[in-house]
Amino acid sequence: MKVLNYGSLNIDNVYSVDHFVRGGETLSSSKMETFSGGKGLNQSIALAKSGAEVWHAGAVGENDGEFLLEMMKDAGVNVSLVSHVEGKTGHAIIQRDGDGQNCILLYGGANQKITREQVDQAMEHFQAGDFLILQNEINEIAYIMEKAHEKGMKIVLNPSPMDEKIGGYPLEYVDYFLLNEIEAGDICREQGEGEELLRKLSAMFPKAKIVLTLGGDGSMYKDGDLVLKQPIYRVPVVDTTAAGDTFTGFFIGGLMQGEDPKTALDHAAKAAAIAVSRPGAAPSIPDRSELEKEL
C-alpha cells in the first residue's frame, strides 16, 4: 500500500513582525527567512517521516523549485511525478507574530498549471486500496478525484484553503475528511461547533470518516457510531505554520501502517506539538522516532 499526495509546492517567504500588517500600514519586519512549503509538500514530508511510502505529484517552475524537490527526496518522498512547467513556482508571503501565529498570502504559480495528461500519467502507478491525499491549492482536483475513484483508491481531502470551488468537487467520493470547524461549517453551509458539526458532516457523507480539528481543544474523529476525542499536547509555540499538515501526515501515515484511529490521532497530536515548537513549515516536521523522545 502506498500514498499519492497530489498537492502544492511553494516557496515560503516568512517575515517576523510585531503584529499583522493593517490596511494602509507600512510595517518593518525584524527578520526575513525563506523555507520550502505548500500544504502538499508539508503533508508529503510528514507522511514520509511518519514511515509511509509516499509519492508526490504536482508542479514547480522551470528555474526556481529544485530545492523543494531535494528537500522532499531527503525526507524519503518519491518526486518522479512532479512536473517542471513554464513560469514561477507557487509561493507564499507569511507574516509571523511574536506569539507564533501567522497569516498567509498565496500565489498559485505552477500549482495551477497541472494538466489532465499529467494526472492520467501519475495515476498509472497506483491501484485499488492505495491512498490519495488532496488539499485545495492546485487545479484539476475534481478530475483527480474522479480518476482515483475509478481506480478504487481511498481519497483523503483536506479542503484548505476553503473557497467556492470545494462545492463543485465530487465530495461523495471522499473516504476521509480532515478539516477545521470553519471549513466544516462552510461545507455544511451552517456554522457550528465540535460535535454538532461532526454530526452534520456525517449525515451529509455517511460513508466518510471525519477528523475535525478544534485548535487548542484538540480534535475529534467520527466513523459511524465511533466517536473519539484527542486533546493537544501543550508546548511553547514558536510557529504554527505546519501544525495541521503534520497532523494530517502522521494520522494518515499511522493508519497506513496499521495503527487504529485512536493511536493514529495520538501520534498525530504529538507530531503537531513538536512541529509548532520549531520555526518554519517543512523543516519543523519531526521524524516518528522523535515522538516519545521530544515529549
pLDDT at 21 over 70: yes
Instruction: Give the cell for residue 18.
Output: 510585531
Residue 93's pLDDT is 93
pTM of the predicted model, to two decimals? 0.92
pLDDT at 142 over 80: yes
Using 50, 70 and 90 to split pLDDT, how confident is the model at 153? very high
pLDDT in tens, 228-248: 999 999 999 998 888 999 999
Instruction: Give the cell for residue 123.
Output: 495515476
Partners of residue 102 on adjacent β-strands: 96
Q: 102 versus 31: which is more confidently predicted?
A: 31
pLDDT at 17 over 70: yes
Residue 24's pLDDT is 96
Average pLDDT, the chain: 95
Distance separating alpha carbons of residues 122 and 80, to the nearest angstrom: 9
Residue 5's pLDDT is 98
